Amino acid sequence: MNLFVANWKMNLGGRKSLQLAEELIDSLPEPLPGEVVLCPPATALFMVGEKLKGTPLQLGCQNIYHEEKGAYTGEISPSFVKEAGALYVMVGHSERRHYFQEGGQLLARKIKVALQWGLQPILCVGENLEERETNRAWPRVKEQITEALVGFEEGELKDLVVAYEPVWAIGTGHSAQPADVQEMVYFIREELVNLRGLRILYGGSVKGDNIKDFMELPDIEGVLVGGASLDAREFSRIVNWEKN
């Protein structure tokens, strides 16, 4: 099933998150043409989770810590995320890799703990502009995926989702070329992960005007949306892409 993930990043507090969740509940098409996951900031997670109960929308978290509890000031326990009603968690978003130096083994641990708590990990990967321009996009993505999935048995990863998000396309208004996305995503599916039923998303400046280009790619089963998910009308257009 197609997956539409709204990553609100650090843009909305509790009240505004709740308001946007309400607007989306009212404006999204019924029945939903796929799974829709809202990822508010952690402080709004519980409230938005309560609001989504009884609706077909799902809750996701933007990040988790790899331990369940203890003296980890400021961190987000997977058990709290689960308690808030989340089904998904993003792991290794490029902003976490860049600003918080996340990568490698740490992400494997996050994926492990997410799966232990019944949270479906959305592993984000993608090359930066320099890597793209110097033909190092493929080895970079390969490295990110192999590091994050090291030590897992195939059966453990049945709930894994991978989001391919070229860093240079995130928040810039310049989405990647669909043909390049297809090539990379095919490489991820066939060469790197090779799991039956794996869902791969595209992310990076997705909006109502370009969603079709990505959803029509043979190996893409959804999108991870930042900026355009902050506007209920625009995000509804994205979810409803087949009718637009």
107 lies in the site for ligand PGA, by CB under 6 A: no
Judge contact between 6 and 36, C-beta under 8 A: yes
By C-beta, is 71 or 100 nearer to ligand PGA? Answer: 100
Give dist(CA 36, CA 134) in Å, integer. Answer: 36
Which residue has the closest beta carbon to ligand PGA? 226
Among 206, 215, 232, 239, binds ligand PGA (CB under 6 A): 206
Contact 162, 201 (CB under 8 A): yes
- For residue 163, CA distances in Å to 27, 71, 79, 198, 202 come to 25, 31, 23, 11, 6
Which of 40, 78, 222, 227 touches ligand PGA by CB under 6 A?
Answer: 227
Query: Shortest gap between Cβ of 172 and ligand PGA (angstroms)?
Result: 7
Residue list 136-175, contact with ligand PGA (CB under 6 A): 165, 170-171
What is the nearest approach in angstroms of ligand PGA to the Cβ of residue 147?
20
Active-site residue, 174 included? no
Q: Hey, is 219 helix, strand or coil?
A: coil
Q: List the catalytic residue out of 93, 127, 131, 221.
A: 93
* Tokens describing residue 215: 């959803």
Nearer residue to ligand PGA within complex by CB, 165 or 219: 165
- Establish if 225 lies at the interface with ligand PGA (CB under 6 A): yes
* Residue 28: CB minimum distance to ligand PGA, A: 18
In the annotation, is 66 catalytic?
no
Question: Do residues 85 and 50 touch, judged by C-beta distance below 8 A?
Answer: yes
Burial 216-228 (b: 16+ CB within 10 A, else e): ebebbbbbbbbbb
Which residue among 2, 7, 144, 240 contacts ligand PGA (CB under 6 A)?
7
Ramachandran angles phi, psi of 54, nearest 5°: 80, 0
Annotated catalytic residues are 93, 165
Task: Tell me which residues touch ligand PGA (CB under 6 A).
Answer: 7, 165, 170-171, 203-206, 224-228
